[in-house]
Amino acid sequence: MRPTDYVVPLERISHVGDGLSRPECILAQQNGVLWISDDKSGVVKLSPDGTHERIGALGGAPNGVAMDRDGSFVVANIETGSLQRLNRDGSSETMLDRLDGQPLGAVNFALYDSKWRLWVSVSTRTIPRRKAIDEPRPDGYVMLIDGDRARIVADGFHFTNEVRLNLDESVLYVAETARGRVTAFDIGGDGALSNRRVHGPDGFWPGALIDGITVDATGALWITEITRNALIVLPQGGEPVVAVEGPDEGPTWFPTSVTFGGADLKDAYIGSLKMDRLARFRAPVAGPPPPHWLIG
């Protein structure tokens, strides 16, 4: 891939899903359905024909969403400081809100790996959480839930945001919003993390605030950045490319996540905290199928 191949002109960006509310996180499936976090319910089901259905009544601010192997959802509720289980019929329960007797903090994101272990990011232990961005402090962490066991596997992040795995699940990438960078770790067989390092620039530019990250089928990392309404691509062994950059209230206003979907996994969807719909464009490369790709 040439750097210019990643660049997406703003006129190539369309939108789907009018009427969404705080669509921070997106899950895509092979059948064309998108599942989107929603603060008026819990999760919105957006069907290929454009109709949508709100599921649940979680309260707070549903943020990151992961789909379990039974089709239920694990929701990281950043406002209530908890992980919640949301079933397709709208019923729900709190999975976890304390660890070692202490409140979890601002639970941001959840991700299943191919072994159905759950990786969870907690942005900060600070209340209110916004202070951890305005006055950065290393009190965010990553937790791993393997069966009934939950434990902290990495700590000391400046507002932990989305986490992702590389293609063979040997590396964990962690977005640090308040440092504008991505940190990487090697993953051991038991989920232990080692060899902590910065992946790419130590700050993409002064004042950068990165939010969502995902990996494409070539191993490149796609990164959303909110101060410039930008999407950055960081190829393996290459220099970062600003693929999209737009104005406030433009087509990628306040981008929070990026997800590959469509039958060929080349439709890219961007979540947002400011818009009531998703941005969409055709990517030059596909994403890898996630563990929930074929779940009914």
> Which CATH number fits the domain that encloses residue 188?
2.120.10.30
- pLDDT tens by residue, 120-153: 999 999 999 999 999 999 999 999 999 999 999 9
Residue 291 within a domain: no
pLDDT confidence of residue 3: 87
296 in a structural domain: no
Across the strands, what pairs with 65? 75
Owning domain of residue 112: 3-282
| Annotated binding-site residue? 161 | yes
211 is catalytic: yes
* Residue ranges of the chain with per-residue pLDDT less than 50: none
Q: Any known ligand binding at 108?
A: yes
Which pLDDT value is given to residue 190? 94
User: Is residue 89, in this structure, part of any structural domain at all?
Assistant: yes
What tokens appear for 243 in the block?
């693929």
Q: Can you tell me the distance from the alpha carbon of 68 to that of 89, in angstroms, rounded to the nearest whole number?
A: 15
Instruction: Report how many domains make up the chain.
Output: 1
Among 39, 139, 211, 267, the active-site one is: 211
Phi and psi torsions of 41, nearest 5°: -145, -90
The answer for residues whose C-beta is within 8 angstroms of residue 151's C-beta and 6 or more apart is 143, 144
Q: Is residue 290 part of a domain?
A: no
- Domain membership of residue 287 (yes or no) is no
Interacting residues of 138 by C-beta distance below 8 A, sequence separation 6+ = 155, 156, 157, 158
Please indicate, yes or no, if residue 292 is contained in any of the structural domains: no
Cα-Cα-Cα-Cα dihedral sign, residues 286, 198, 193, 174: negative
Q: What is the pTM for the complete model shown?
A: 0.98
Residue 87 covered by a domain: yes
Q: Is residue 288 part of a domain?
A: no
Q: Is 139 annotated as a binding residue?
A: no
Q: List, in sequence order, the alpha helices (H) in 96-196.
A: 131-134
Cis, peptide link before residue 289, omega less than 30° from 0: no
44, 60 in Cβ contact below 8 A?
Answer: no
